[in-house]
Amino acid sequence: MHHRTSRRTLLTATAATVAAAATGAVSAPGAAAASASSSASTTKRLKQLISRMSLEEKVGQLFVMRVYGHSATEPDQADIDANLAEIGVRTAAELIAKYHVGGIIYFTWAHNTRDPHQIADLSNGIQRAGLAGPTPLPLLISTDQEHGIVCRVGEPATLMPGAMALGAGGSSSDARRAGKIAGTELAAIGINQNYAPDADVNVNPANPVIGVRSFGADPQAVAAMVAAQVKGYQVAGIASTAKHFPGHGDTNTDSHTGLPYIHHTREQWAELDSPPFRAAIAAGIDAIMTAHIVVPALDPAEDPATLSRPILTGILREELGYDGVVVTDSLGMEGVRTKYGDERVPVLALQAGVDQLLNPPDLDVSWNALLAAVKSGEISEARLEESILRILRLKVKLGLFDDPFVTHRGVDRVVGTRAHLAAADRIAEHTTTLLTNDGALLPLSRRSHRNLLVVGADPASPSGTTGPPTTTLATAFGELGYAATALSTGTAPTQAKIAEAVAAAHGKDAVIVGTYNVSATSSQRTLVGALVATGVPVITLAIRNPYDIAQLPAHAASLAAYSWTDVELRAAARVIAGRADPQGRLPVPVQRANDPTQVLYPVGYGLTY
């Protein structure tokens, strides 16, 4: 027992040393020298701690793993069964005890994020398990809370507009405030690392995996927004993660299901893809996530960036000067599994320059493969400890060695407060983009356009939604004094659904159609055309990518909301109703459907009332 207490004392001293340096506690002349001395002292203490760890503990620190269940020790039976099937353990606590993992990632589908109090209790249970190990170590607890279409923690937490919506708003202060609020609420429930912001520059409208997760198509504008979000998360006291290096914005393949190739030249990469990552590094980003993409101009061997030493060490570490934590994207994605087997991926990733190995499909295979590589000398223990040092430095910076625990009182004081929710609504109002408004139909008058029909796509709901988009919009219009009826026609409306919508439109004053990634062959085009033919004014609202308007027949008015989360749909309703002015400007160009070389609406385009 005395042995464990002495280690905790060492960790507390380490944390205090780093905290003093990080907060500028040394302010007299010679402060820089004192800060350097403090950093050296921290490094020395952490190296002492690492020297006391077993090889198995060292290997474990590099892994960030999923685990099923709402509790670290008493998950539901179905989650126990899932853990046994996929990981060979029953609970999060058993996972930490067996594999000594350095981090846990939360997912909605893993039942980790039911409600704020439950998440806080799960986080505390995970931290207790980490501190109960042979070497007491807190854990990095992470999630993908990008907001917009990628959210793991839903209401009553505050849900912010997503990246492209913020890009449309064009306000760095809004982006920073969104990051601060999001980070503050995550910290309150025990999540200390967010895999955001997305630093990809979305220059390909056909990109199936990034799209509205990006701030836009202008590298400098994206860089400014990324830096602002990093600063916001820093104020909140959690680690942010810029992703997906070296840039996932120009691909038509989803790295979850395939291996994308990006054919930018080295010069194009420097001009288009690198500025947001450079800005993130300059802003003090805590972590950078790799992409499972091939960029032949950056690595002629055509290895995925996650496994590419020329990209991660040659460019990220040496050229860009980044010495923070590098984390892989999920190792369960097909993009990183295509070329090499699962047992080689963690070894090659570490050799490439990675520090954290995220969510391997089979932890036992990956963990033992890395352990064997160190024992055989393929990976030196010094290289292993280099990554552990970066990870522990981050844990110290976040104050996890001082106190990794959270309280219900802290949750209630911070999560989903009235002030935070009001801020989210204000920010969202700055993002809705008005693209067309023939005959000045908008804003809708309650006197002449009181009876509304809301139809359209109802895609699977992210955590930022309370119901189908049609229902959410109709409810929002109802609260604004309109009589609104909702009818879901789906992302691929059938002739029967189209006929039902046409019949429902008769007698209405206007129809609002929520469109979702309309293609040249989409029956959503047929739906809009049929509704226009009724003579009732038709307003379309793109609820994901803003490119839909290029594919649609002429109609009265068109807007872009960039997501179908409640906060963005409510803001769009207020804009349509004239309760807020449309302030958003396109952060990406919209090309003509029949000639993609011609721009229909350029970056920066947007109408006002």
Known catalytic residues? 256, 329
Round to whole Å and give the CA distance between 248 and 374: 32
**Is residue 161 within 8 Å of residue 36, measured between CB atoms?**
no
Residue with tokens 């503050």: 184
Expressed in angstroms, the distance from the first to the final Cα of the chain is 70
Give the closest residue to 290 by CA, choosing from 313, 267, 268, 271: 313
What is the chain's alpha carbon radius of gyration, rounded to the nearest angstrom? 25
Record the tokens describing residue 499, joined without a space.
């006929």
Round to whole Å and give the CA distance between 126 and 94: 10
Task: Give residue 413's Cα distance to chain centre.
Answer: 24
CA distances from 529 to 254, 438, 538, 591 (A): 31, 16, 9, 20
Give the closest residue to 607 by CA, choosing from 580, 587, 583: 583
Round to whole Å and give the CA distance between 261 and 255: 10
Amino acid of residue 191: I
CA triple 98-99-102, angle to 5 deg: 130
Round to whole Å and give the CA distance between 601 and 609: 18
Round to whole Å and give the CA distance between 391 and 577: 50
CA distances from 345 to 64, 260, 308, 363, 367 (A): 15, 17, 11, 12, 11
